[in-house]
Structure formats: C-alpha cells, structure tokens
Amino acid sequence: MHTAAGTQILTLTGLRFDASLGLLAHEKTAPQPIQVDAELNLGRQPLHPPDDDILHVLDYRKVRQIIIDECRAEHVNLLESLIGKLAARLMQLPGVLGVRVKIAKLEIFDDCEVAIRVETGQW
C-alpha cells in the first residue's frame, strides 16, 4: 500500500527577544530586541503519521528554546556571525535537511528594519 507523503516545513515566525549583539558601544552594554524567523525542512513525511506521539516528531518548543539560547549564549559583534552559528545549530537537529533563518535588529534605524537571511542545506 502506497502511503501519501509530503514535504514538511516547521516554521517559527516573529520570535522576539533581547540579545547582546553589535559593534557599537551602547550595543555592548545592553541587550537589544531582535526578531528571528526560522524554517526547518523536515523532508518527506507521511500525511498520516503512524501515531500521534510527540516523541516521533521534532518538538517546536525545543526548537524555539534552542533559538533563544543560541542567540543569548554570548555577546556577538556581527549579525553575520550570530546567524551562521544559529543556522549551524539548527542543522544539527534530528531529521532537519535544510534551514532558512532570518534575524532582524529592530531598533537600529527609525525608518527600516535591518536583517540578514541565511539558507543552508536542502530545499
């Protein structure tokens, strides 16, 4: 019997918290608000899972906490360094084939949001 399947993408959008990030003097002394959006490619998954058990899927609560912990682990000067570290960590999660992640600094300019987006792995 052929089981129907589809590509499954886990997304977390608009996750906001404070992190110690930046080169400027005031950025080194106080955390600033950032926003993280993440997409995790979990590849082909059955449309009807064999059971309804959280142990057999990637728990999004765990993914959310990893994002927060990675971004708060230490002060990072460059957004590029932080997003690279975060993308690499998310790629290590079981079953993750690809990662798209965006980190935005929300209070750098009054007239725009500044963000970097990274895509790695399979899409």
Task: Find the angle CA(36)-CA(79)-CA(13) to the nearest 5 degrees.
Answer: 10
Report whether 73 contacts 21 (CB < 8 A).
no
* 79 within 8 A of 20, measured Cβ to Cβ: no
Q: Does the pLDDT of residue 2 top 70, yes or no?
A: no
Q: What pLDDT is recorded for position 52?
A: 80
What pLDDT shows up at residue 51? Answer: 81
pLDDT tens string 8-49:
999 999 999 999 999 999 899 999 999 999 999 999 998 887
C-alpha distances in angstroms, 119 versus 24, 46, 58, 102, 116? 27, 25, 19, 9, 10
**Full-model pTM:** 0.92
Instruction: List pLDDT tens digits, range 59-84.
Output: 999 999 999 999 999 999 999 999 99
CA gyration radius, the chain: 17
What's at 4, amino acid-wise? A
